[in-house]
Chain A
Amino acid sequence: MTPSEERLNVTQLFLQHYDGLYRYLVRLTGDADLAADAAQEAFVRLVERPPQDRHVRAWLFAVATNVVRDTARARARWMTLLMGSPDRAPMGDVGPGPDDAAESAERRKIVRVALDRLSWKERTVLLMREEGFAHHEIADAVGTTTGSVGTMIARALKKLAVELAPTSETLR
């Protein structure tokens, strides 16, 4: 399917890619709401400014990744502001998520913590690689050269191994 043909049916593209994109973003951020927002924004941009010469799936993942990164930056500034103004603490009333089995939750937590210790780019390259993207597509998403993606993946794998190898048996 050519890019122009793909653009014709956004709804079909939504049904094809939304769940996968959302899952990737949840893994990337650990935040289901942020993931949903970024996935939605990526599809809205697909309608408004469709890619001219890139595969749509890779484009969606790259756009959503950038949306998440920008939002995370803004949120960091926001939180800094809030911390400086204790009288303006957030008023949100976020309810607890569904109860998971304790063991499963513990394993997830271990992996989440380890993943969060990686840099943003390292996390992105690892997760996009898991999604089966080619190195040049990953390079587009993180704003680097194709040649350096291999280096980043190798570094990220080693860091993750250092973090998780001691608990490897627990994770099985």
Chain B
Amino acid sequence: MTVLAGSRHLGDDDLIRYMDHQLDREGQRLMGAHLRTCAGCTARLDELRRTSALASEWLSLLPAEMPDPGKRAVALAAVDRARFRRRGTGVLGSAWLKAAASVVLLVSVGMATEPMRAFVARGVVGLGGSEPGSAAARIAEWLGHRHEAPRPAAAPVTLQAPPEVIYAPDTRTPAAAPARAERPAPEVKRGMSAPLQFMPAGPDVSLVFSSVQAVGTATIWLREVPGGNAQAVRNYRGEEMVPGPQGLEIRNRRGSTADYVITVPTRFRYVRVRVGDGPEVQIATTKSKQEWVWTIKLQSSALDDQVPGAH
């Protein structure tokens, strides 16, 4: 604030702040005092007020249209999808907490019974060993467990790692979308995408695919959506989709697993799509009653080989 005991004129920024009540009480008081004694500043304030009122009048001429119901529905569906994804984690966490609490309760009650004490004792021995004198052995003994000679070692068991789960593409679409049957989760090979599905959704068509990608960059090249109304859903590692001059660039890290949803307005009759170095494909978006299935190949990268432990 440039006002100093009425000795200097106020700047336009001060006058705007005064006009918009953006000063604290003391600031408003000081400026008010200055304005009562300074005709020049008062005249400028009046002029700014007139201009401001005119600007409001002019700006009110701009369209104040509301979004059409289709756009609103698509936006709300996108918010619901995001909320659903977020809630998925929360519910899982909550379920684990509930399960853990149930186990604690059951064990507490069960410890009063002989079979449960024996069961827990076997567990303690299994975890901590049964060497005489060990803490685990003492706890087991306290629980009534008798030390037994170790049995001959059983044949080794090879544990199979569970296969990586690739979720089916999100089938949630706004109400305008036709009903479609649930599909089983697609098999996705490394470097390939699952079948790309085109789902009409109100004024848009959603392009959905799952992928297991190489390290590096995959570029989804959409002619008509430079802004990239694209969302990566169930994207565990937070890969970004960055709109650029070459299309939508996805920066993958090792083991990226994600489903992508790209929304294309149906007001475009065609969309050209190219992923990585693959061939460009032209798709008519006006066949809104149909469901398109198309497999695309994702770009591999030499970077993949340079990352230690890459698989």
Check if A and B associate.
yes
> Given A37-B227, A91-B223, A158-B51 in contact, is the A11-B59 Cβ separation under 8 Å?
no
A117 in the interface (beta carbon within 8 A): no
Q: Which of A19, A27, A158, A172 contacts B59 (CB 8 A)?
A: A27
Are A108 and B63 in touch, CB under 8 angstroms? yes
Are B227 and A32 in touch, CB under 8 angstroms? no
Complex CA–CA separation, A41 to B48 (angstroms): 36
Are A108 and B62 in touch, CB under 8 angstroms? yes
Q: Which of A43, A79, A115, A151 contacts B75 (CB 8 A)?
A: A43
Complex CA–CA separation, A80 to B245 (angstroms): 9
B20 in the interface (beta carbon within 8 A): yes
Q: Which of B48, B55, B86, B267 contacts A47 (CB 8 A)?
A: B86
Q: Which of B14, B62, B268 has the most CB of A within 10 A?
A: B62
Give the nearest-CB partner of B76 in chain A: A14
> Given A23-B66, A130-B59, A135-B20 in contact, is the A44-B79 Cβ separation under 8 Å?
yes
Complex CA–CA separation, A171 to B117 (angstroms): 88
B57 in the interface (beta carbon within 8 A): yes
Closest CB-CB distance, A162 to chain B, in whole Å?
A: 10
B36 in the interface (beta carbon within 8 A): no
- Which range holds the interface residue count of chain A? 35 or more
Tell me the A37-67 residues at the B interface (CB within 8 Å): 37, 39-41, 43-44, 46-48
> Given A111-B61, A126-B59 in contact, is the A74-B243 Cβ separation under 8 Å?
yes
Are B86 and A27 in touch, CB under 8 angstroms? no
B15 in the interface (beta carbon within 8 A): yes
Complex CA–CA separation, A172 to B53 (angstroms): 13
Q: Which of A37, A43, A150, A168 contacts B22 (CB 8 A)?
A: A150
Q: Which of B20, B66, B78, B272 has the most CB of A within 10 A?
A: B20
Are B13 and A151 in touch, CB under 8 angstroms? yes
Are A14 and B79 in touch, CB under 8 angstroms? yes
Give the nearest-CB partner of A168 in chain B: B54
Tell me the B51-76 residues at the A interface (CB within 8 Å): 51-52, 54-59, 61-67, 71-72, 74-76
Which B residues are CB-close (under 8 A) to A86? none
**What does the 1/0 interface line of B101-145 toward A look like (CB < 8 Å)?**
000000000000000000000000000000000000000000000
Tell me the A75-107 residues at the B interface (CB within 8 Å): 75, 77-81, 88, 90-95, 104, 107
Which B residues are CB-close (under 8 A) to A46? 79
B4 in the interface (beta carbon within 8 A): no
A142 in the interface (beta carbon within 8 A): no
Are B62 and A90 in touch, CB under 8 angstroms? no
**What does the 1/0 interface line of A151-162 toward B look like (CB < 8 Å)?**
101110110110
B226 in the interface (beta carbon within 8 A): yes
B12 in the interface (beta carbon within 8 A): yes
Which B residues are CB-close (under 8 A) to A158? 51
B292 in the interface (beta carbon within 8 A): no
B9 in the interface (beta carbon within 8 A): no
Give the nearest-CB partner of B13 in chain A: A150
Q: Which of A91, A108, A161 contacts B270 (CB 8 A)?
A: A91
> Given A91-B272, A95-B267, A164-B54 in contact, is the A43-B227 Cβ separation under 8 Å?
no
Q: Which of A90, A108, A150 has the most CB of B within 10 A?
A: A150
> Given A74-B226, A135-B20 in contact, is the A47-B79 Cβ separation under 8 Å?
yes
B183 in the interface (beta carbon within 8 A): no
> Given A14-B79, A74-B243 in contact, is the A154-B61 Cβ separation under 8 Å?
no
Which A residues are CB-close (under 8 A) to B244? 74, 77
Which A residues are CB-close (under 8 A) to B63? 26-27, 108
Q: Which of B16, B55, B59, B75 contacts A36 (CB 8 A)?
A: B75
Q: Which of B52, B54, B58 has the most CB of A within 10 A?
A: B58
B33 in the interface (beta carbon within 8 A): no
Q: Which of B65, B226, B268 contacts A32 (CB 8 A)?
A: B65
Are B71 and A44 in touch, CB under 8 angstroms? no
Which B residues are CB-close (under 8 A) to A27? 59, 62-64
10 of the cross-chain contacts (CB-CB < 8 Å) are A33-B265, A40-B75, A78-B226, A107-B61, A111-B62, A150-B14, A150-B22, A153-B16, A168-B54, A172-B57
* Residues of A participating in the B interface, judged by any CB pair closer than 8 Å: 10-11, 14, 18-19, 22-23, 26-27, 32-37, 39-41, 43-44, 46-48, 71, 74-75, 77-81, 88, 90-95, 104, 107-108, 111-112, 114-115, 126-127, 129-130, 134-135, 146-148, 150-151, 153-155, 157-158, 160-161, 164-165, 168, 171-172
